[in-house]
């Protein structure tokens, strides 16, 4: 984990120093020693900080911003030199003289007047205190100047608007009258409303529009189609008026129904704004139905297609059997967590609406009817059987079912998902209290951890180190998270609010990844042996140093049998290199 964060903090030449070092915890000290050897040079650091003090830019004018920058640079370099064990406490006179030479003329005069009033030589703290007072004074003066200037501009704008109102109005009326006159018939209407213009052929309209030098997009005078802000042609979406649209020439159509023994090809195309065409071939074929009868059909030839579709009418004509498929959360093993403020029908319906808006409308919902709800069991039963919820279910077409009493195995997968969340979360929430927003953020991050767990290998390719997750069914790709440093403070009450949520997420990740690997190891050890692990198997490696959502996956490249002929150690190839692990530290992902 330390090596991971060390790499993430390095940029440029510093990152190149440890780029070729293997990404293992044992190499962290080697990487740190190389960085110290390259950059931990006191003489060079002292030289750079002293040079920064001498090369700071002088103040060109009296400004709070330039003075603050001058003081900040001075304090930063002096603190750095003091950290490097330099006697900066004896440099007050030298630094005051050097910095005072970089002040603007006004501030320098005020400083000389202030120094003459002192009975002893000023210290660096007194000099910085004087500059800070000057900065505060200038900030107040600049703020008042901005307010006065803004009010003056507002008064000037009001006066100018009153004096030029009549002139602008008269000019606009004259321009509007000139632009509203039809250039074709000299009547008081626009060109696109002219009946004479509308009766002309499309080619003649285009010539007239070019002759009158009107906008080709809106048919108005005074601007061009490049600067026109109105909409485009409603037929082809091009930058011209709909009255100027001309249909492209079409080729003669071929015979749509060829002979029974011949195969006919035609082309379907789609027109786009870029004037390009997508051509897909079709063919007439005869398909044999369930009773042996041949039926004519037209198929679409697409070499890049990965799915086959058939219309409902043609499927009925062939007499094919149909099988319904329901992609529910039981199938993909995805988890969706909602936070409600009360066990009421209104809160339950609101949570269900949020679920439908994000995940889609479910076909059926199964609710637990067991005694694991403890004190809230009876109240929850009353909420779920409420008439308002029943009417909402019937309107949305959702089938709502209860599991049989004292039979949690009827809803086993959902029970396991709830247990994985609630068990760890109750232990962590006993340490602090969260607001509704913090609790919602925490549950969303926990939901992401659950939906990022690997289920099965995506492919058998030995170079493929990715696994199928519930997130692939939800968004089509693995989930990612925003990186955050590891929080090591054990007392959660001393942390900031956002750090408490992050600490809960990190604790949940450590607990869940250990429990998930242990459960996978138990599933792979049933009553019958499935054989030893072979090279090419995708396994999950135990690694407690990785951040959240980064599952340590790898492929076995080599196995090492013991003296008794039983293999207990394997060589695993991961994203960062090759490691050797015992079978108790790895777990193969199930293939089905």
pLDDT digits (tens, 9 = 90+) for 157-198: 555 554 444 434 444 444 444 556 788 888 888 888 888 888
Residue by residue, DSSP assigns 64-122 as HHHHHHHHHHHHHHHHHHHHTT--GGG-HHHHHHHHHTTS-HHHHHHHHHHHHT-SSPP
The answer for residues whose C-beta is within 8 angstroms of residue 191's C-beta and 6 or more apart is: 182, 183, 184, 197, 209, 212, 214, 219, 220
CA angle 28, 32, 33 (to 5 degrees): 120
Q: Do the strands 294-301 and 467-468 form a parallel or antiparallel pair, or are they unpaired?
A: unpaired
> What is the rounded radius of gyration, in angstroms, for the C-alpha atoms of the chain?
38
584 Cβ neighbours under 8 A, 6+ residues apart: none
Global pTM exceeds 0.85: no
User: What single string gives the DSSP state of each residue in 258-311?
Assistant: --TTS--EEEE----TT-----EEEEEEEEE-TTS-EEEEEEEE-TT-------
Each residue's pLDDT expressed in tens, for the chain with a length of 592 residues? 677 777 778 877 778 777 777 767 777 888 888 888 777 777 878 888 888 888 888 888 888 888 888 888 888 888 888 888 888 888 888 888 888 888 888 888 888 888 888 888 888 888 888 888 888 888 888 888 777 666 666 555 555 554 444 434 444 444 444 556 788 888 888 888 888 888 888 888 888 888 888 888 888 888 887 788 787 787 787 888 888 887 665 444 434 443 434 333 333 333 334 444 567 778 888 888 878 888 888 888 776 665 677 787 887 788 776 543 333 344 567 777 777 777 666 777 777 778 877 777 777 777 665 433 333 334 444 555 555 555 555 555 566 666 666 666 666 666 666 776 777 677 767 767 778 788 888 888 888 888 888 888 888 888 888 888 888 888 888 888 887 777 776 667 677 787 888 888 888 888 888 777 777 766 555 445 555 678 888 888 888 788 888 888 899 998 888 888 788 889 999 888 898 988 888 888 877 6
Q: Phi first, then psi: what are they for 312, rounded to 5°?
A: -65, -35
Q: Which residues of 446-468 are buried (b: 16+ CB within 10 A; e: fewer)?
A: bbbbbbbbbeebeeeeeeebbbb
Contact 369, 381 (CB under 8 A): yes
What distance in Å separates the CA atoms of residue 27 and residue 20, rounded to the nearest whole number? Answer: 11
Quick count: other Cβ atoms within 10 Å of Cβ 469? Answer: 24
For residue range 3-46, what is the model confidence (pLDDT) as tens digits?
Answer: 777 777 887 777 877 777 776 777 788 888 888 877 777 787 88
Strand order in the sheet with 294-301: 265-268, 280-288, 294-301
The full 3-state SS of 544-576, as one line of letters, equals CCCCCCCCCEEEEEEEEECCCCCEEEEEEECCC
Q: Which domains does the chain have, with CATH numbers?
A: 2-40 (no CATH), 44-140 (no CATH), 191-244 (no CATH), 265-300+312-318 (no CATH), 329-518 (3.30.420.10), 530-588 (2.30.30)
Backbone angles phi, psi at 299, to 5 degrees: -110, 150
Q: Residue 384: helix, strand or coil by DSSP?
A: helix
Alpha carbon distance 517, 588 (integer Å): 9
Tell me whether residue 204 is exposed, middle or buried, using C-beta atoms within 10 angstroms of its C-beta: 0 to 12, 13 to 18, 19 or more. exposed
């Amino acid at each position: 984990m330390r090596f991971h964060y060390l790499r993430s903090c390095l940029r440029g030449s510093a990152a190149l120093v440890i780029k070729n070092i293997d990404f293992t915890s044992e190499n962290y000290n080697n990487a740190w020693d190389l960085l110290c050897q390259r950059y931990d040079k006191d003489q060079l650091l002292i030289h750079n900080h002293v040079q920064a003090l001498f090369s700071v830019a002088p103040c060109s004018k009296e400004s709070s911003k330039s003075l603050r920058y001058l003081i900040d640079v001075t304090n930063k370099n002096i603190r750095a030199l003091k950290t490097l064990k330099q006697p900066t406490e004896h440099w007050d006179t030298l630094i005051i003289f050097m910095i005072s030479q970089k002040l603007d003329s006004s501030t320098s005069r005020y400083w000389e007047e202030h120094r003459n009033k002192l009975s002893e030589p000023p210290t660096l703290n007194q000099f910085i205190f004087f500059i800070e007072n000057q900065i505060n004074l200038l900030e107040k003066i600049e703020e008042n100047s901005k307010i006065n200037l803004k009010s003056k501009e507002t008064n000037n704008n009001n006066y100018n608007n009153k004096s030029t109102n009549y002139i602008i109005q008269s000019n606009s009326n004259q321009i509007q009258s000139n632009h509203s006159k039809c250039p074709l018939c000299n009547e008081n209407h626009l060109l696109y409303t002219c009946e004479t213009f509308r009766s002309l052929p499309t080619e003649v309209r285009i010539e007239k529009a070019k002759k009158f030098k009107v906008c080709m997009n809106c048919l108005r005078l005074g601007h061009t189609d490049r600067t026109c802000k109105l909409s485009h042609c409603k037929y082809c979406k091009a930058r011209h008026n709909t009255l100027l649209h001309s249909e492209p020439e079409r080729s003669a159509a071929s015979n749509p129904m060829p002979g029974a023994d011949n195969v006919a090809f035609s082309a379907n195309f789609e027109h786009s704004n870029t004037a390009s065409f997508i051509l897909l071939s079709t063919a007439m074929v005869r398909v044999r139905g369930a009773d042996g009868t041949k039926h004519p059909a037209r198929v679409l030839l697409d070499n890049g297609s990965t799915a086959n579709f058939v219309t409902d009418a043609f499927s009925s004509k062939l007499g094919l059997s149909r099988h319904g498929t329901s992609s529910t959360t039981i199938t993909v093993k995805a988890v969706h967590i909602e936070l409600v403020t009360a066990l009421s029908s209104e809160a339950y319906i609101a949570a269900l609406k949020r679920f439908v808006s994000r995940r889609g409308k479910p076909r059926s919902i199964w609710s637990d009817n067991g005694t694991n709800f403890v004190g809230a069991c009876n109240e929850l039963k009353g909420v779920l059987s409420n008439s308002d919820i029943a009417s909402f279910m019937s309107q949305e077409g959702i089938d709502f079912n209860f599991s049989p009493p004292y039979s949690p195995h009827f809803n086993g997968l959902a029970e396991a998902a709830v247990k994985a969340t609630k068990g760890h979360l109750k232990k962590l929430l006993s340490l602090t209290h969260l607001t509704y927003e913090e609790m919602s953020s925490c549950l969303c991050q926990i939901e992401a951890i659950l939906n990022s767990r690997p289920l099965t290998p995506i492919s058998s390719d030995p170079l493929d180190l990715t696994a199928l997750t519930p997130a692939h069914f939800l968004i089509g790709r693995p989930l990612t998270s925003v990186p955050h440093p590891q929080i090591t403070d054990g007392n959660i009450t001393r942390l900031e609010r956002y750090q408490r949520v992050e600490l809960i997420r990190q604790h949940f990740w450590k607990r869940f990844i250990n429990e998930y690997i242990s459960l996978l190891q138990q599933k792979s050890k049933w009553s019958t042996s499935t054989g030893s692990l072979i090279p090419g198997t995708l396994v999950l490696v135990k690694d407690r140093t990785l951040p959240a959502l980064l599952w340590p996956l790898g492929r076995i490249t080599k196995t090492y049998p013991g003296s008794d002929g039983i293999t207990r150690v394997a060589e695993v190839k991961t994203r960062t290199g090759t490691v050797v692990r015992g079978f108790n530290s790895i777990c193969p992902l199930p293939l089905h």
